[in-house]
A = this chain, B = another copy of it.
Amino acid sequence: MKTNTVFYHAGCPVCVDAEQLVVDTIDRERFDVEVVHLGESKDRISEAEAAGVKSVPALVVGQNAYHINFGASIADLK
């Protein structure tokens, strides 16, 4: 069974850069990768917060949130 990973971003330059390179490193044979734009999908913000996401870009692997550099805080996306 593949592990779910979700890459949350907000279309910012830092986000796009991270998406192109970090998301590309993920082994798709073992991980399902979903990319979510929180600026466009505000209904997913609460889910991201529940996973521990405080800023974007962030990668959630299973139940763990990893903030990658800093683009924008979740609070600024609401």
Contacts and interface: CB of A to CB of B under 8 A. Distances in A.
Contacts of A27: 25-29
Given A25-B31, A27-B26, A17 B69 contact: no
A52 to B, nearest CB: 10
Interface string A1-40: 0000100000000000110011001111111000000000
A51 to B, nearest CB: 13
Contacts of A30: 25
Contact of A22 (B18, B28, B61): B61
Nearest to A3: B25
B22 A59 contact: yes
A54 to B, nearest CB: 10
